[in-house]
Structure 1
Amino acid sequence: MIKTLLREVKEFKKPSILTPFFMILEVLMETIIPFLMASIIDEGVEAGDIGHIYRVGAVMIAAAVIGLFAGLAGGRTGALASAGLAKNLRDGMFHNIQSFSFSNIDKFSTAGLVTRLTTDVTNIQNAYQMILRMFTRAPASMLCAMVMAFSINVRLASIYLIAVIVLGTILIFIMNHATKYFQQAFPKYDDMNASVQENIAGIRVVKAYVREQQETDKFKKASSNIYRIFKKAECNLIYNAPLMQFTVYGCILLISWLGAKMIVSDSLTTGELMSLLTYCMNILMSLMMMSMVFVMVSMSSASAKRISEILTEESDLKNPEHPVYDLEDGSIAFHHVDFAYQKDSREPVLKDINLEISSGETIGIIGGTGSAKTSLVNLISRLYDVTGGEVLVGGRNVKEYDMETLRNQVAVVLQKNVLFSGTILENLRWGDKNATDEECMEACRLACADEFIQRFPNKYDTYIEQGGSNVSGGQKQRLCIARALLKKPKILILDDSTSAVDTATDAQIRKAFLEEIPDTTKLIIAQRISSVQDADRIIVMEEGRINGIGTHEQLLSDNKIYREVYEAQTKGGGDFDENGGEQ
């Protein structure tokens, strides 16, 4: 886990190395100053040697300036290194997420990924900065102060050693107890973020059903869970400060009492006592800093594990060693295909699918909810891998192709239409970033989108709000179809992508496809039989199997499910689920 995170330091190795160096230099200067102060008092003030005071004072000023410079430089390089690590962690996670297959993405919730990219990375950033600065400074300061204290007086310095051992043991016990609560806290952020995300995404439904109070209560519950866990952790950590103060003041009183006796007996000078008191503060404050580092490390350990999970997750789908970069045509073949979303699933989603589709053919696919229509077409562009059998595109197994090449030639308009914030042209050019304005307009004409775009004041420069909230469902679907057409694919898959379009426009779109892209293989998933009845062949899916395949006329005479759905829809509004018997 630690190696995984440190690999992301990359170009920020230099400031990561310089920060401990500057911290140690600052500690050395701070350690020298009390020693020089003792010399000024014992050999300058008490001896009345003003020259010695000036000389040693000049050295003290130089040491203070060097320590100030080292502290400032260490703060700057530490901030640069920690911010750089955070940047690289976010970049690394986001880049790896982009390579995930759908099955990888299914392992992590959206809220969990957002928490990892934000809160967890911030925890690591703060912990890394504290490790570079305080975790270097504190032990170095403690060691130097302890050495100097023992060099002055072993008996008095032993008080520090005993205090450090006792206090360190107590702090370790407190840290261990608090850590388990911090490990429970950060996963709770996922629940809270999920509540926020769900509420904002469905805000229209929330308001339509007047569920604002229930959503507020849900958020309060998630927030209260975090509060309770952090409260338990902090209740353990509150003992840090009083213990430290008790130890510091106890050591000062003990050293002052014993030191005064030793001064009277001439076994200790006044300057040495002052130095010992200063070193006492250095040692115990170093211990306090180390306890703060342990707190931050305890808090960030859970975050480090969660980030490491994303960075080390490998996509289930990988390019072959020698990928094929040319897809000859849009022919598709399924040979004894089985598929399950989970490898240990008892029942596969698709079972023994055998299907041959010629290039340029138009195929309709209908079936009830859960009949695996979408699962079937997802295998064509290799969004998932089959668990049995093989899928061929252009005469080759899809696993032989370079995935980018395959997906560029297989355009999919998904059930859930997604538009991104930006102009209409910017959204269309997701299909082809080099497409001209004329090509974009032509694609929109094929998708019957040009007619409503021309009615907008800014036409193709109209700004689309996030998620396409300022266009209707039907307009969004037509823009997504146009975007797919710009890829000039050999295979076009419409996954229930005209459900929000009126039947007349749906017919116009299908007619345009037939006339303008006859060589493109078209797969149309639909609930309305009118959307697929003109297809070359229609596939009826039932419980992950092909129940029937043929033309509209053939299925009407031979397939009971198809016939019942057709009769229900022509009589008035029945859909596949209501009459096909497939749920």
Structure 2
Amino acid sequence: MLIRLLRTHLGPYQKPIALLVLLQFLQTCASLYLPTLNADIIDNGVIKGDTGYILSFGALMLAVTVGQMVCNIGAVLYGARTAAAVGRDVRGAVFDRVQSFSARELGQFGAPTLITRTTNDVQQVQMLVLMAFTLMVSAPIMCVGGIVMALGLDVPLSSVLLAVVPVLGISVGLIVRRLRPLFRTMQERLDTVNRVLREQITGNRVIRAFVRDSYEKERFRGANAELTEVSVSTGKLLALMFPIVMTVVNLSSIAVVWFGAHRIDDGDMQIGALTAFLAYLMQIVMSVMMATFMFMMIPRAEVCAERIQEVLDTDTSVVPPAEPVRELRGHGHLELRGAGFRYPGAEEPVLKAIDLLARPGETTAVIGSTGSGKSTLLGLVPRLMDATEGQVLVGGVDVAAVEPALLARTVGLVPQKPYLFAGTVASNLRYGNPDATDEELWHALEVAQAKEFVTGLAEGLDAPIAQGGSNVSGGQRQRLSIARTLVQRPEIYLFDDSFSALDYATDAALRAALTEETREATVVIVAQRVSTIRDADRIVVLDEGRVVGTGRHHELMDDNETYREIVLSQLTEAEAA
């Protein structure tokens, strides 16, 4: 998965990568050339006392060092820029794919793991790319080059390398093999910590209301302890790697000096050559250590790449049409024909054979017990999810064939849980219509019964809104959410229990204002409160995912037992009549 992910996102950067490899090759060749120059200075300059030779070759060493430094800086610069660009592209790809998900896919993954995959997982892959460009490209060149140069200096002494390199490779390989499952567990437990922390921040009021602070502290402590446990196990293995490498390095250095001293004593080797050989041995070992850094990161990056690719390979169940319809003839006309919805693997469908007709100028209400599928029904219209059977038609056209942008302009949904974005009142209201004027915003606020409290804010339309609208009350969030949809001015309004947080007086005033504002539009209201929907032109009663009644309030009171039970659970016989 890691190779597949990198192959896809490194493709556009072939030229910078080629230049980076060239620079790394040049700076590695310079590094390999320096010990030979140093040996030449010792054997032909220092031992013979030739100062001129030392100065001339010293100047050459200085020039090679400057060239190496310039190439190294250039390589690191291109490597960092390319790695950052790859991280940006992968994050963008994950974000775009998540934005295309329907409610089904979002529920399948969950918000905490999607956040972790978009941030921490991508960061791990980006760091691997950076390390590969700055270390791994030069490591094999230095290792092979060091071996060749060492063989050129003294073949018998190079036999030490036959023992050093395999021992290092086997040691690192055994440790890396044990790291991979630990890194997978680490990312999963990081998801858990993210989820628990998110729940505790979001549900802070509930926690305090039920005095569950101690319980939540223990829950977080448990998740944190599990993450710490696997992190410590990983750290122990990583900490073990460097002592092993350094032990092999030191033992090999002792062996080289021991055998090299005997060869110098026998006249088969010069002192400068031994010095250069030690330098090449260190370069070979350093290249192995650089590879070790990579091996430390590869298992975790591979796990992260699998998690990222899992998101990228997940196709949305809401597929954009190949040849979309870009114009609707029946404006505001909404119809469901035998529509049903079933979650994958579920024994029973959420909705079964739903028939519903809503026309412009009419208000259609949907009511039913909790879990009867009311919100799911509304979600089928703007394609938050697609019907698994039957059809949903807007303007006489199946929504699956309508251009997504056109469908978004035609259908306005006020969700059951209103969400406001961090910004201002104005920026939230203009979410559906960026070109709306201040006058249009104030008009929408007036209809939504929100003008009074927005006027009371010091900055008015420029008053700040915190993430999720946490700095305003539930009723104010609902009214701002309704105003946001009014600014959009769609042909079909869908209100998913959007009046539940309002008091009865505000609810009545808002519905009266909406009746005038949406006179020519199609309005579909899902509500639990009977007083909200009793005056609707058509009331659809849902029970266990099926339509069990359709009609006006007085007709259903006479003929539909399910509706009658819902009404009488809230109103007396006299009030219902």
1:106 match: secondary structure: helix
Is contact 2:494-2:523 (8 Å) kept? yes
User: In structure 2, how many angstroms separate the alpha carbons of the residues matched to 1:466 and 1:559?
Assistant: 43
Return the letter of the residue paired with 1:334: L
Tell me by how many angstroms 1:552 deviates: 0.6
Tell me by how many angstroms 1:544 deviates: 0.2
Tell me by how many angstroms 1:565 deviates: 2.5
2:572 match: secondary structure: helix
User: In structure 1, how many angstroms separate the alpha carbons of the residues matched to 2:6 and 2:42?
Assistant: 50
- Is residue 2:517 matched to residue 1:516? yes
1:275-424 equivalence runs, <5 A: 275-328=276-329, 329-342=331-344, 344-424=345-425
Is contact 1:327-1:406 (8 Å) kept? no
Tell me by how many angstroms 1:12 deviates: 4.5
1:3-402 equivalence runs, <5 A: 3-9=4-10, 12-328=13-329, 329-342=331-344, 344-402=345-403
Is contact 1:339-1:388 (8 Å) kept? yes
Aligned to 1:479: 480
User: In structure 2, how many angstroms separate the alpha carbons of the residues matched to 1:226 and 1:168?
Assistant: 29
Is contact 1:443-1:483 (8 Å) kept? yes
Is contact 1:93-1:311 (8 Å) kept? yes
Return the letter of the residue paired with 1:381: P
Tell me by how many angstroms 1:111 deviates: 0.8
Q: What's the CA shift string for 1:352-408, capped at 9, x where partnerless?
A: 112222232211111010000111111111221111111111111111101221122
Tell me by how many angstroms 1:446 deviates: 1.5
Is contact 1:22-1:73 (8 Å) kept? yes
Tell me by how many angstroms 1:294 deviates: 0.4
Deviates more, 1:158-167 or 1:45-54: 45-54
User: In structure 1, how many angstroms separate the alpha carbons of the residues matched to 2:146 and 2:506?
Assistant: 83
Deviates more, 1:471-480 or 1:538-547: 471-480
User: In structure 1, how many angstroms separate the alpha carbons of the residues matched to 2:194 and 2:544?
Assistant: 35
> TM-score, normalising length from structure 2?
0.96
Aligned to 1:565: 566
1:337 match: secondary structure: strand
Is contact 2:76-2:133 (8 Å) kept? no
1:492-503 equivalence runs, <5 A: 492-503=493-504
Tell me by how many angstroms 1:412 deviates: 0.5
1:519 match: secondary structure: coil
Tell me by how many angstroms 1:11 deviates: 5.6
Aligned to 1:580: none
Q: What's the CA shift string for 1:180-208, capped at 9, x where partnerless?
A: 21121111110000111111111122222
User: In structure 1, how many angstroms separate the alpha carbons of the residues matched to 2:450 and 2:119?
Assistant: 38
Q: What's the CA shift string for 1:468-498, capped at 9, x where partnerless?
A: 1222211211111111111111110110000
Deviates more, 1:256-265 or 1:548-557: 256-265
Question: Structure 2 vs 1, CA of residues 48 and 455 (structure 1 numbering), >3 Å: closer, same or farther?
Answer: closer
Return the letter of the residue paired with 1:338: G
Q: What's the CA shift string for 1:145-170, capped at 9, x where partnerless?
A: 10010011111011112210122112
1:252 match: secondary structure: helix
User: In structure 1, how many angstroms separate the alpha carbons of the residues matched to 2:175 and 2:320?
Assistant: 50
Is contact 2:429-2:483 (8 Å) kept? yes
Aligned to 1:579: none
Return the letter of the residue paired with 1:432: N
Question: Structure 2 vs 1, CA of residues 253 and 564 (structure 1 numbering), >3 Å: closer, same or farther?
Answer: closer
1:276 match: secondary structure: helix
Return the letter of the residue paired with 1:458: E
Return the letter of the residue paired with 2:339: V
User: In structure 2, how many angstroms separate the alpha carbons of the residues matched to 1:229 and 1:174?
Assistant: 15
1:356 match: secondary structure: strand
1:431-470 equivalence runs, <5 A: 431-470=432-471
Tell me by how many angstroms 1:510 deviates: 1.9
Aligned to 1:581: none
Deviates more, 1:494-503 or 1:240-249: 240-249
User: In structure 1, how many angstroms separate the alpha carbons of the residues matched to 2:33 and 2:509?
Assistant: 87
User: In structure 1, how many angstroms separate the alpha carbons of the residues matched to 2:57 and 2:16?
Assistant: 33
Q: What's the CA shift string for 1:58-95, capped at 9, x where partnerless?
A: 11111111111122222222222222221222222112
User: In structure 2, how many angstroms separate the alpha carbons of the residues matched to 1:492 and 1:282?
Assistant: 71
Tell me by how many angstroms 1:212 deviates: 2.2
Q: What's the CA shift string for 1:409-446, capped at 9, x where partnerless?
A: 11010100111122211111112110011111111122
* RMSD between aligned residues: 1.9
Is contact 2:5-2:305 (8 Å) kept? no
Consecutive unaligned residues in structure 2, runs of 5 or more: none
Tell me by how many angstroms 1:230 deviates: 2.0
2:352 match: secondary structure: strand
Tell me by how many angstroms 1:5 deviates: 3.4
1:383 match: secondary structure: coil
Aligned to 2:507: 506
Aligned to 1:428: 429
Is contact 2:180-2:303 (8 Å) kept? no
Q: What's the CA shift string for 1:502-559, capped at 9, x where partnerless?
A: 2222222222222232111101111111100110011111000011110011011111
User: In structure 2, how many angstroms separate the alpha carbons of the residues matched to 1:60 and 1:300?
Assistant: 39
Identical amino acids, percent of aligned pairs = 37
User: In structure 2, how many angstroms separate the alpha carbons of the residues matched to 1:405 and 1:459?
Assistant: 32
Tell me by how many angstroms 1:10 deviates: 6.1
Is contact 1:179-1:233 (8 Å) kept? no
User: In structure 1, how many angstroms separate the alpha carbons of the residues matched to 2:206 and 2:517?
Assistant: 40
Is contact 2:112-2:191 (8 Å) kept? yes
User: In structure 2, how many angstroms separate the alpha carbons of the residues matched to 1:363 and 1:482?
Assistant: 20
User: In structure 2, how many angstroms separate the alpha carbons of the residues matched to 1:168 and 1:41?
Assistant: 33
Question: Structure 2 vs 1, CA of residues 456 and 50 (structure 1 numbering), >3 Å: closer, same or farther?
Answer: closer
Return the letter of the residue paired with 1:201: T
Consecutive unaligned residues in structure 1, runs of 5 or more: 576-583
Tell me by how many angstroms 1:313 deviates: 2.6
